[in-house]
Chains A and B, each alone.
Chain A
Amino acid sequence: MKQWFMLTVVGTDRPGIVARITTRLFDNGGNLGEASMARLGGNFTIMLMVQYDGDTAALQRLLAPLSAELGLHFHIDEIEGRLHEHIVPDVRISVYGADRAGIVAQVTSALAAAGFNILDLESDVAGTERKPVYVMHIEGCATRGIEALTQAVADFARDGLDIRLTSIDTLMG
């Protein structure tokens, strides 16, 4: 029986990495699930669900030539491949401000304490080297309502962070 794995790949970005990895997997009977690729600080990163008829060591061996050739680091974990169970977020939170240590820790701690469950987070450092601007974008579920979250982050606004909470009204039609 085929097992699901989470394949995490990190390395120096260059054109064609996704094509090389996925072709190697496909040619050897691998099946892909959900994936998320991002270029973070100039580094190539991807997390990729792979269904493969073999164990972790076999998958590692299959990808080893690419690791050597492209200078990529592969990390593989056995996982449960639960597809078709997406949770729909009900709040979107945008945060931006002058970059300083602790923004993510403080904001996400306050949100977690107010019942927020993060489903998706993306952040970027914008601006310039001298004046970096931190931009974060979160989607998730407010288990205790959006008002609890609004109160939880009110103090950060006084600290010069811009935080905007928007309820997500998903239209079904």
Chain B
Amino acid sequence: MFDVITYPDPRLKQVATPVNVFDDALRAFVRDLEQTMRGGPPSVGIAAPQVGSTQRIAIVDVSSRPKTRSHGRLVLINPVITRRDGDVIGREGCLSLPDFTGNVMRAERIEVAAFDENGDRNTYVFEEFEARAVQHEIDHLDGLLFLDRLVSRRNDLFRRKVYK
């Protein structure tokens, strides 16, 4: 298990670099990253920069949440969002920023291409809560925290769901 680093650690604001080699060392790192996620405070995802790594690796698993559409355990390496639809506001917190939650606008549905830890390329369609989790984690790979995307409560009254 790793320690989760917290803001203002500058490593959280760095753009992570793509993974090129899919070997045992990578798989060992993914295992440790997943253990860190499951062994810490309850969370639905973690990204490599949160443990101080500069690799484009994220893990998402929203399957423990009731009534939530889920692909189960997901290892997303070098993930790319290829399509976004809809906007929806939801509340987020972050392991790397204790004691603060805020409202964030995210795409409601996204299509993502990513590699798994064996180097296989997969494409996914994520919706709703799972889509939010994936976007939160991919943001970490780009050095972004949900603080960079906060929206005011006052203005979201009539736009819980807006389709472009």
Contacts and interface: CB of A to CB of B under 8 A. Distances in A.
Physical interaction between A and B: yes
Contact of B93 (A85, A96, A172): A172
Interface residues of B, number: 28
A171 B133 contact: yes
Contacts of B56: none
Nearest to B65: A169
A169 B45 CA distance: 15
B44 to A, nearest CB: 5
Contact of B95 (A88, A94, A139, A172): A172
Nearest to B92: A171
Contacts of A89: 91
Nearest to B68: A169
Interface stretch (B70-78, B115-123, B152-160): B152-160
Interface string B91-108: 111110011110000000
A18 interface: no
A173 B99 contact: no
A166 B90 CA distance: 10
A171 B153 contact: no
Interface in B37-73: 41-47, 60, 65
A1 to B, nearest CB: 23
Interface residues of A, number: 20
B2 interface: no
Contact of B132 (A84, A122, A137, A171): A171
A128 interface: no
Contact of B91 (A94, A124, A169): A169
A85 B154 contact: no
A102 B81 CA distance: 49
Contacts of A173: 43-47, 60, 92, 94-95, 133, 136-137
A171 B100 contact: no
A84 B43 CA distance: 19
B90 A171 contact: yes
B29 interface: no
A171 B46 contact: no
B157 A172 contact: no
Interface in A89-116: 89, 94, 96
A170 B91 CA distance: 5
A46 to B, nearest CB: 16
Interface in A63-96: 84-86, 88-89, 94, 96
B101 A169 contact: no
A122 B153 contact: yes
11 contacts: A86-B101, A88-B93, A89-B91, A122-B154, A137-B154, A137-B157, A169-B129, A171-B132, A172-B43, A173-B44, A173-B46
Which 8 A-B pairs rank lowest in CB-CB distance, beginning with the nearest?
A: A173-B45, A172-B43, A170-B91, A173-B136, A171-B92, A172-B93, A84-B99, A168-B91
Interface of A: 84-86, 88-89, 94, 96, 120, 122, 124, 135, 137, 139, 166, 168-173
